[in-house]
Amino acid sequence: DVKVTQSSRYLVKRTGEKVFLECVQDMDHENMFWYRQDPGLGLRLIYFSYDVKMKEKGDIPEGYSVSREKKERFSLILESASTNQTSMYLCATSAGELFFGEGSRLTVL
């Protein structure tokens, strides 16, 4: 089974803090993704990566950056967290279909 592990299930941060969300996959997939999930809006793509050190902006990249130094690890970074970034963040890898992690619920106060 594909395993996608997100480092933190729940985080509470303050406005202006830097936030790191980590994602690790064990299936040697090249493509990795970060989505945010909000009620009534579905999943929206923030960034994706199709290879080590490669990244592409998704539909809502503003306020986020990513890092992919190793194939199995894809990190999402909020340089200065804001309250409108309170959300559920989902990491995924793909091999024809997407495989999701369990999500990281971030609350920014």
Partner 1 sequence: AQSVSQHNHHVILSEAASLELGCNYSYGGTVNLFWYVQYPGQHLQLLLKYFSGDPLVKGIKGFEAEFIKSKFSFNLRKPSVQWSDTAEYFCAVNADDYKLSFGAGTTVTVRA
Interface with partner 1 (CB under 8 A)? 31, 33, 35, 40-45, 48, 50, 56, 58-59, 90, 94, 96-98, 100-103
Q: Which two tokens stand for residue 73?
A: 């690890």
DSSP state of 59: S
Residue 19 C-beta: closest distance to partner 1, Å: 21
Q: How far apart are CA 93 and CA 100, in angstroms?
A: 7
Residue 10 C-beta: closest distance to partner 1, Å: 13
Length of the chain in terms of residues written: 109
Of the pair 12, 54, the CB lying nearest partner 1 is at 54
Instruction: State how far Cα 64 lies from the chain centre.
Output: 10
In angstroms, how far is the first alpha carbon of the chain from the final one? 37
Of the pair 26, 59, the CB lying nearest partner 1 is at 59
Residue 11 C-beta: closest distance to partner 1, Å: 17
